[in-house]
Structure 1
C-alpha cells in the first residue's frame, strides 16, 4: 500500500513538473514559432520564392489560393542569402557567411545560371561583401577589402573600380561601423538604370579614433579587435560621393558643398538613368536636403529641405520613384509620420495620408491603378498605438481601405503586381501566422504557416496570459502597459513585481503581438510567483512625434521619472508587495534599470542591467547626437542623467544590483560597465557583476543565453 501511494505521489510530482516552463525549453526552442524566410516575389507577380533548408523553392500564389499548392525547386542547396537578377535568369547565392557587425557579413558568393544549372563563383570564391546585379543582369558589383570590383558575367572579367581601400583608413561602397549600426544598411553603392554607371560613397575614416577590444578565445596572448568607432562629439568619417563610368573606366567626384553634407545617409538612382537621388544631412540630423545629381555633368540640384526642431528619422527614409520620376516621401512635419507625393522638381503635389495616427511602414505603389500600400497604427479611423494594420489608398489621397481582418500586429509582403500579399499576423493571444491574402480586398486565400499547434505546448506547460492596459501616473500621464500574472493568481495575495522596459526614443515594448523570447521568460517568472509589468514611458513610439520627441536633449530624465512613477502606481495595487519591486533591461533598458535603482529611492528593491550604456559620452555619434547633440553643446544633458553620477545613491544595504556585459561588445562597449563598476567601488557599494568573455552586445552562442537567464532567474528569486 505504501509503495502504491509512493508511486501515485511520484506520478503526480512528475506531472506537475511537466507542466512548468523551463529555461531549457525556452532556449531549446520548444516554444519557437515557425517562420518564412527569404520571401521574394517573382517578376510576373504570380509566383514567389522561399528559402528553405535544402534549397530555394518557387510557389504559385494562384494555385495555393485554389488549394492545389504548386512547389518547384529552383536551385538545391543550403544558402545563407540569395538574390535574383532583374531578368530572373541568374541567382546570386551565398554560403560560408562570416558576420562582421550587426548587418554586415562576408561570404562565398556564386552566380547560378537557371537555364544551364551551372554555378560561377564571384571573385574566384574569395569572401566578398554586398554583391549586386546590374539592372541589365550582365554584371555584378561587389566589395572586397574595402574596394569596389565589377565582374562581367559573360567572360568573368573582373575590373577593379577603386584602389585606395584600406582597413581602418578608407572604405569604398560599404558603410563604416556607425553608418551600418545607426542608418541600418551596409551597401552604399548603386547601379544606374542601364548598368552603365555606378555611384558610391567613400568613407575616409583616417581621423576617426580607433577602439580596440581584447579577444581571449583561449589564446596564450589575447589579440585585439580594432575598428574605427566615433563616440559622441568626436570625429566622424569624411564622406564623399563618386561616380564611375564603365565605358571610360573613369571616376569623378560630385561636389556636394552647396547642400548639407556632413552625412550622406542615402543614395539611389531614379528611373531616369542619368539622375541620381542623394539625401544629405547636417550633423544634428534635423535638416535633410533631398537632391538630384545629373551624372552626365555631375551637377547637383537641391529639390527641397526637410527640417525638424528636434530630429529627423535619418535611419528610416521612404523614397520611391515613380515612372515619371515623381516620388513618394514620408515626413513627421504635421506631428505624425505620413506619406507625401512630390513631382520631380521637388514641388509637393499632395499629402496622401492624413490623420491623428502614423504610417509605420511603406510597401509600394501600383502604377496600374495608382494605389499606395502601407502599414499604419490606426483602426477604423482612430490611432491604436499598440497595433499595426495594412492599408491601400489612392495616390490622390482618396479611398483608404484596410486589407487585413484581425486586430493585432499585421505586416505584408506584396507580390510585384500587388495582386497578392503574404500577411504576417499575430496578437498577444494568437501566434504568428502567414496567410496568403488578396491585394485589393480583405479576402484571405489560404494559410501558409500556422503555429496554432504551439498553443497546445503552451497550455500543457501552463503558460499564463498577457493583459494590456493603460497605466495612469500620479502626474496624469497615460502610458501603454501590460501585465503578466501567475496562472493561479489570487487577488488577495501580495506578489513581488518584476518590471521590464527598453524605453529608447521611438521604441515600443507594449504591443498587441505574439510573445518574444523575453516574454517566454517572463511567463516562467510568473510561474515562480512574480507579477511582470512593462510600461512604455514618455519618449517611446506609437503616439506621434510630440510624445516621442519630448525627451530631446535630455535622454534619461522623463523616461526614468515615468518608470519610477509607474512603479509607485503599481505598488498601490492590492495584490502587490510594494517592498519587492524590481526592474531589468538590456542596452538602453540597462541604462534605465540602473538609473531607476539609484535614483528611485526605495521604490525598487533590485535591478539587473544587461549591456547598459552608462554615459552617452561613450556611445556613437549618429545615434547619440540625433537625440542629444554633442557633449560640447550639451554637457549637462549627458552627465546629469548618467547612472555613474548617482552611484553613491545606491543603497546596498537594502537593494541589490546585478551588472552584466559581454567583453567583446562592439556596440555598447564594456567600458560602460567598467566605469559604472568603478564608480560603485569608489562609493564603497556592494554589487554583483558578470562578464561574458568574447561575447558581443547580443551575449549569445552555445549555452550562453541559457546560462545568462539561469543567472538572472536565480538572482531574482534570491533577491526579490
Structure 2
C-alpha cells in the first residue's frame, strides 16, 4: 500500500494532457527489458584455492553465470552446479531462485571448498556444493553492536568469552564490570581492577594480552547517550495493528562512548591508567594491539570533530604514551580514508596516507621520531593501497588524476618503492581499472571499462605482461535495442580553472532541432565522487542503476545529466574542502556553470526548464536547489533526505560539519529555510528508513505547511531508505517521479523508442 498526499499546487496546476501511460510504463520497465541483453560483461574476480584459481560472474544468455579459472592451465569450469544450488536456495529462503538469476554477485569458499558462503538480502548463507543444502551462516562477528561505530548497544551482551594468554596459562575476562584473571582450568579468579561500574566499565571485547603473557590492556568505557529513534510501522505484514520499531541512533552532538586504555601487570596485579593528554577528546579509537616484541601497544585515535588523527604508541612497561604520527587538518581528516601499515615485526616504520601537501599521498613515517618521508607526490590522488611488501619495500596502489587531459577520476594501478623510486604503471587502457592480485602477487586480473566501453578482463603476470584476455563484453544486442552511451562533458568550475566533469544522457529518439527540459540527478555527498565511470550492466559497478534510470527518464522527453561539483571527493584537498561546514553548497555554483556551458554549445538544452532529483544527501541537495537556487531549478524530487543535519546520523554529519554542533548545521537546514521554497516539489520517504530518520522529512513537511507552501508528499509504508530507487525499483514510486517531472516541466514525450508523440504543454 502507498500513501500519497498531494497539496494545493498540484490540484490547482493548469490543465495538462495526462502523460502517455504506455510511454511511462516502457520507461519504468526499461531496466528489466535491457538487463539481460549483454554478453560476457564480467565483474572483478575473487581469488581462491591459495591463489591457484579465481572466479567471477558474467552475463550470459538468460542471465548470469559464474566462471572459475585455473591460473596455470587457464582451464575454465563452473565452480558449482547452478541448477542444484538454485533449488537449495529456494528451499532455504522460501523464495524462488532461477539458476541464471542467483541472488548474489560474489561468494567465498568454505568447508575446505565443499561449500560456499553468500549474502542474500542482507542474510549470510552457507551452501554445500557437494550435497547442495543451505543453512544460515554463523555470524563471524559476535561483538556487541555499536551504533554508527561510536555508541555501544548495552541492551546486547558483550562477547565475554575468556581471552587466553599466548602461553595458554591464563584467561582474562570481565566480571561485574571489572577485569579478572584465572589460571586455565581453574574457576578461581583474581581481580586486576576494582573500580569498574555500569557507568564506567571495562569492555571484555577490548582485552589484549602482551606476547609474553605478563601484561594485559583493556579499555575502560564511559557509555555515550542512548538515543532511540522510534518508528511506527503502519501496515506490518504479520499483523493487522501497527507495530513500533526502535533503533539506537546517535545524532550530532550526542555524547559518544569514551574509551580509556588501562594497562595491567598481571603477576604484580598492578594497574596503570594511561595519561590521555594526547587523546583527550576521542570520537573513535581502534582496538589496542601489541607490537610483536611486546615492548609497546598501539591504537589509532580520531579527535571529536575530525580535525586530528593520531597513532598512539604506549610503553608496555611504564604506560607512557607517545604520538607516533599526528595528522592535523584545518578542516577535516577523512576518517574512512585513513590508512596505516606497520612495516615489519618491529614496526619501526609506518606507511601512512596524508593530504598535508594538498593531495592524497603515501608517506613513510619513522616510528621513533615521527619524521615523514613522502613516497608519492604530484597533482593526483592515491585511491587505494592494494598491497605492501615489507621485504621488497614496495607498495602497489591505485591512483587517479595522473594523466593530464584525461578523466581525472579513472583509476589506474601502480607500484612504487618505499623511497619513491621505480614508479611503474600496471594498467594502460584509457578506462577505469579494478585490479585483483593473486595472494603471492605473481599475477593479477585487470577488469576495466568506461561508460562507453564494455568491460574487458585480462590476466597479467606481476610485471604487467598480458597472459590472456579472459572476457570482452558484447553489447551488440543492447545497441540494437537502442542503447547509446552517456556523453562525458567538462566545463570550468566557479574558480574559472578547475575542470568539472559530468555525464549527459539523451532520449533514444533525440532530435537536435527540438528543445528538451533538463533533469539533474544529484548526489553531492562529500564522502566520494558519483558520476559513473564504469560500464553499467545494471548494478555490476557503482552507477549502473543510476544511468539506466537516467535513460528511462530521458526517453520521456528530457536530457538527463549528472555532475561532480566541488565538495565531492577524489580530487584535491581544496576541491574536497569546499564542503566543510557548507553542505548547503552542494557544488551548485559549479553545477550551474556546467549547465550553462553545455547550453551555450547545445541549443536543444533548455536551461529555462531544469529539474533535479536525488536521494539521502542527494535528497537534501534536491530540496536545497529550490530553497537556495530557485532562479535556476524549477522542480525537484527529493527522496529520503537528511534535510536537517542535526536529525541525521552522528558519523556522516560530524565528519563534514564538525563538532560541537554550530550554525553551519542550521545553514544547510531545509526546515529552517523552508519558507524560501519556490518551484514544484515532490518529497518521497520510506516509513521504516533506518539510515536517515524519516522524521527529518516530516519536519520539512511541517515547516512547509506552516509557511503555507504547496508541495506533494509520498510516504511508502514499510519501505526502507532505498524506497523504490535501488536495484529492483518499486514501479509505482518510479512512475510517480517520472510523471511529476513531465507535469512540472511540461516535457514533450518523444517518438519511436520512447512512445507516441504527446505534447504536454498547457
Q: The TM-score by the shorter chain falls in which range?
A: 0.7 to 0.9
Q: Match for 1:462 among 462, 466, 482?
A: 482
Aligned to 1:370: 393
CA distance in 1, matches of 2:485, 2:36: 18
1:631 Cα offset (Å): 5.7
Q: 1:61 to 1:263 in 2, by over 3 A?
A: farther
1:604 corresponds in structure 2 to 633
Alignment-derived partner of residue 61 in structure 1: 71
Determine which of 225, 240, 248 is the counterpart of 2:245: 225
1:147 correspondence with 2:147? no
Q: Secondary structure at the match of 1:432?
A: strand
Give the SS at the match of 1:315: helix
Q: For 1:627, which of 628, 647, 656 is the aligned residue?
A: 656
Matching residue within 266, 277, 293 for 1:258: 277
Shift of residue 561 of structure 1? Answer: 3.5
| Equivalent residue number for residue 316 of structure 1 | 337
Cross-structure match for 2:301: 280
1:315-464 to 2 correspondences below 5 Å? 315-324=336-345, 325=347, 326-345=349-368, 347-348=370-371, 350-380=373-403, 384-441=407-464, 443-450=465-472, 452-453=473-474, 455-464=475-484
Q: CA deviation at 1:612?
A: 0.9
Residue 546 (structure 1) aligns with: 574
CA offset at residue 462 of structure 1?
0.6
From 710, 715, 720, the counterpart of 2:740:
715
TM-score, structure 2 as length reference: 0.73
2: CA distance between counterparts of 1:416 and 1:63? 18
SS state of the match for residue 714, structure 2?
A: strand
- TM-superposed deviation, 1:221: 3.6
Q: For residues 39 and 126 of structure 1, do their structure 2 counterparts lie closer, same or farther at Cα, with a shift above 3 Å needed? A: closer
3-state secondary structure, aligned to 1:645: coil
1:11 matched residue in structure 2: none
Q: Structure 1 623/404 Cα, relative in aligned 2: closer, same or farther at 3 Å?
A: same
Superposition RMSD on alpha carbons, in Å?
4.7
| Cα distance, 1:386 vs structure 2 | 2.3
Cα offset for 1:287?
1.0
The 1:70/1:268 distance shift into structure 2, 3 A limit, reads farther
CA 1:271–1:25: 2 relative to 1, 3 Å: farther
Say whether the 8 Å CA contact 1:42–1:49 is kept in structure 2.
no
Distance change >3 Å, CA 430–CA 440, structure 1 → 2? same
Deviation larger for 686-695 or 504-513 = 504-513
Verify the 8 A CA contact 1:500 1:583 in the aligned structure 2.
Answer: yes
1:674 has 2:698 as partner: yes
* Match in the other structure for 1:23: 28
1:672-703 Cα distance to aligned partner (Å, 9 max, x none): 11011111111222211111222222225996
The offset of 1:341, in angstroms, is 1.3
Deviation at 1:297, TM superposition (A): 6.9
Tell me the alpha carbon deviations over residues 358-399 of structure 1, each in whole angstroms, 9 at most, x when there is no partner: 001111123453321000003447784221101111121111
Aligned to 2:167: none
1:611 Cα shift? 0.9
Name which of 36, 39, 43 aligns with 2:46.
Answer: 39
Structure 2 matches for 1:198-277, cutoff 5 A? 205=223, 207-216=225-234, 217-218=236-237, 219-241=239-261, 255=274, 257-260=276-279, 261-267=281-287, 269=289, 272=292, 274=294, 275-277=296-298
Q: Structure 1 residues 126, 608: CA separation in 2 closer, same or farther (over 3 Å shift)?
A: closer
Match of 1:662 in 2: 686
Give the match for residue 99 of structure 2. Answer: none
- What does 1:49-88 align with in structure 2 at a 5 Å threshold? 59-64=69-74, 68-69=75-76
Alignment check: 8 A CA contact 1:571 1:578 kept: yes
CA spacing shift, 1:673–1:271, aligned 2, 3 Å: same
Tell whether the 8 Å contact from 1:276 to 1:293 is kept in structure 2 after alignment: yes
How far 1:130 moved relative to its partner?
A: 1.5
Contact 1:231 1:619 survives alignment (8 Å): yes
Q: Any stretches of 5+ residues in structure 1 without a counterpart? A: 1-16, 100-104, 133-142, 154-158, 175-187
Per the TM alignment, residue 426 of structure 1 is displaced from its structure 2 partner at its CA by 1.6
Between the aligned partners of 2:286 and 2:478, the Cα distance in structure 1 is 44
Checking the alignment, whether the CA contact within 8 Å between 2:117 and 2:137 is kept in structure 1 is no
Cα 1:46–1:129 change in 2 (3 A) is closer
- TM-superposed deviation, 1:512: 3.0
> Which residue does the alignment assign to 1:8?
none
Distance 2:202 2:560 in 1: 46
CA contact (8 A) 1:56 1:74 kept: no
1:183 aligned residue: none
Taking a change above 3 Å as real, the CA distance of residues 151 and 463 of structure 1, as seen in their structure-2 partners, is farther
Q: CA deviation at 1:348?
A: 3.4
Distance 1:129 1:424, change over 3 A: same
- Stretches of structure 2 that go unaligned for 5 or more consecutive residues are 1-21, 90-103, 144-153, 165-170, 178-196, 537-543, 746-762
What SS does the aligned partner of 1:718 have?
Answer: helix
1:594 aligns with 2:617: no
Contact 1:409 1:425 in 2 (8 A): yes
- Equivalents in 2 of 1:621, 1:387: separation in Å? 31
Q: How does 1:415-564 map to 2 (within 5 A)?
A: 415-441=438-464, 443-450=465-472, 452-453=473-474, 455-472=475-492, 476=496, 478-515=499-536, 516-557=544-585, 559-564=587-592
Residues 625-668 of structure 1 show CA distances to partners (whole Å, capped at 9, x for unaligned) of: 22222364x22x222332223322323xxx32110111111221
- Choose the corresponding residue for 2:324, options 275, 287, 303: 303
C-alpha distance in 2 between matches for 1:438 and 1:608: 49
